[in-house]
Amino acid sequence: MARIVCKFGGTSVATTERIAAVAARVKKIADQGHEVAVVVSAMSGATDQLIQWTREVATLQDAREYDVVIASGEQVTVGLTALALQSLGLAARSWLGWQIPIETDDVHAAARITRIADAELVKRMAAGEIPVVAGFQGLSPRRRLTTLGRGGSDLTAVALAAALEADQCDIYTDVDGVYTCDPRIVAKARKLDKITYEEMLEMASLGAKVLQTRSVELAMKYRVRLQVLSSFTDTPGTFVVDEDEIVEQALVSGVTYSRNEAKITLTQVADRPGVAAGIFGPLAEAAVNVDMIVQSAADDGTTDVTFTLPRTDLERALKLLNGLKPALGFKSVLADKNVVKVSVIGVGMRSHAGVAARMFKTLSDKGINIQVISTSEIKVSVLIAEDYTELALRALHTAYGLDAA
């Protein structure tokens, strides 16, 4: 007998038929003798609609009221899921964030969970009741409703699994696991049986949208065994686990890409102390998340500074930089939106040389120019022209031996 947290995402609870199917799945698990807690998201599209409504009534948002509105999608699905479970003869009870409570800080719309008071849930689960917990919601120290940021139901599920010391946290979604690359682009992409927390974290933050990044961080911290699987099939998914659980570690386990990238180059920046701080300080204060940075020196005492940022922040950043021009004294600001970041990820590269070299060689064989490079212990990222996304992903997937047979 195990204790399992099952989380169902928006597509898994998108209609009442789907909710009935979720209930049937949960019944199967409970009938095997396991203790189950369920976490659900809002019906897919519901949260977007709620956000839209807040925008229609107010341009300046009071974050506390925004949270009250956007958390309501999960109130609908917990109630419906509990009803569906009850109609199958199971003891089930819905729980909103504040009822447990799931305590958070008071950073509305992006709250952090500080504590989950799980004693009552544990008692009821032991007595055979299935708690159905609203994802995404919390309670602030000032007793206001908070939300955890978009995709936050994953976080609720992982935090609950950690609090309950669950044996496993199953994240049901509309894909059947984590793939070596986006299967819509690379037809030969394979589903991974297992992936390490570190790799999953890199994949989530580098563009693979299967799990919310913060939830992976939390799972890694508390060593929560995660499984990503589909609620539409019965096949096992991908386990996100500790490195030592993976016997034969591939050099590279995945290739990802992110199109939400833009590149800015400041030309002929004075080459003296304080200039980088003068550029990136104001950007940081404006909450522009700068990613890759390169600086190249010319022999005339100036440098070109190139960096990447989310495409969605480009206009804002350009405005800010143009305002700084008199103070910083660079020549011009160049911007490019036609870029994509492609990354290869694998804990295996910690102990093997040549991963980056193979990437560069593969891209050059295809005539693809690399604009910016960045590396960490377990990933190599390059910025290339967006038009080459498909070509680059397919070539790299083959080059690292990831293609399905």
Q: Which residues of this chain interact with ligand ASP, rule CB under 6 A?
A: 10, 41-42, 47, 73, 135-136, 150-154
Q: Which helix (H) or strand (E) holds 343?
A: strand 339-345
Of 71, 87, 70, 100, nearest in space to 22 by CA:
87
Question: In the sheet where 238-241 sits, what is the strand order?
Answer: 92-95, 130-134, 35-40, 3-8, 168-173, 226-230, 238-241, 194-196
CA torsion 375-378-383-389 (nearest 10°) is 170
User: Which of the choices Mg ion, ligand ASP, none does residue 190 contact, using the CB cut-off of 5 to 8 A by kind?
Assistant: none
Q: Using CA atoms, how far apart are residues 389 and 405, in angstroms rounded to an integer?
A: 23
**Residue 132, strand partner residues:** 38, 94
Residue ranges of alpha helices (H) inside 9-62 are 16-31, 46-57
Among 6, 8, 9, 22, which residue sits at the site for Mg ion (rule: CB under 5 A)? 9
Q: Does 131 bind Mg ion (CB under 5 A)?
A: no
User: Which of the choices ligand ASP, Mg ion, none does residue 311 contact, using the CB cut-off of 5 to 8 A by kind?
Assistant: none
- Determine contact, residues 263/217, Cβ cutoff 8 Å: no
Smaller CB separation from ligand ASP, 43 or 186: 43
Q: Using CA atoms, how far apart are residues 177 and 190, in angstroms rounded to an integer?
A: 10
User: Which residue lies nearest ligand ASP, judged by its C-beta?
Assistant: 153
Q: Nearest approach, Cβ of 278 to ligand ASP (angstroms)?
A: 37
User: Segment near Mg ion (CB under 5 A), from 9-17, 18-26, 90-98, 194-202?
Assistant: 9-17
Entry field: residues in the chain: 405
Instruction: Tell me which residues in 338-377 interact with Mg ion (CB under 5 A).
Output: none
Smaller CB separation from ligand ASP, 5 or 181: 5
Token pair for 303: 């440098």
Residue ranges of alpha helices (H) inside 187-227 are 197-205, 213-222
Smaller CB separation from Mg ion, 9 or 207: 9
Q: Nearest approach, Cβ of 158 to ligand ASP (angstroms)?
A: 11
Q: Nearest approach, Cβ of 366 to ligand ASP (angstroms)?
A: 37
Return the amino acid letter for 248: E
Of 68, 70, 71, 6, nearest in space to 34 by CA:
6
User: Which of the choices ligand ASP, Mg ion, none does residue 150 contact, using the CB cut-off of 5 to 8 A by kind?
Assistant: ligand ASP
**Residue 191, strand partner residues:** 179
Q: Nearest approach, Cβ of 322 to ligand ASP (angstroms)?
A: 34
- Determine contact, residues 182/189, Cβ cutoff 8 Å: yes
Smaller CB separation from ligand ASP, 171 or 252: 171
Q: Using CA atoms, how far apart are residues 336 and 262, in angstroms rounded to an integer?
A: 6
Instruction: Tell me which residues in 143-202 interact with Mg ion (CB under 5 A).
Output: 151
Q: Nearest approach, Cβ of 161 to Mg ion (angstroms)?
A: 16
Sign, CA dihedral 389-392-395-396, equals negative
Q: Nearest approach, Cβ of 400 to ligand ASP (angstroms)?
A: 32
**Residue 262, strand partner residues:** 309
Q: Nearest approach, Cβ of 178 to ligand ASP (angstroms)?
A: 17
Of 292, 293, 400, 326, nearest in space to 356 by CA:
400
Smaller CB separation from ligand ASP, 9 or 346: 9
Smaller CB separation from Mg ion, 177 or 346: 177
Smaller CB separation from Mg ion, 131 or 151: 151
Residues in contact with Mg ion, counted by CB under 5 A, come to a total of: 3
Q: Nearest approach, Cβ of 211 to ligand ASP (angstroms)?
A: 10
Smaller CB separation from ligand ASP, 135 or 254: 135
User: Which of the choices ligand ASP, Mg ion, none does residue 73 contact, using the CB cut-off of 5 to 8 A by kind?
Assistant: ligand ASP
User: Which of the choices ligand ASP, Mg ion, none does residue 177 contact, using the CB cut-off of 5 to 8 A by kind?
Assistant: none
Cis ω on the peptide bond leading into residue 101 (within 30° of 0)? yes
Q: Nearest approach, Cβ of 172 to Mg ion (angstroms)?
A: 10
Give residues in contact with Mg ion (CB under 5 A).
9, 41, 151
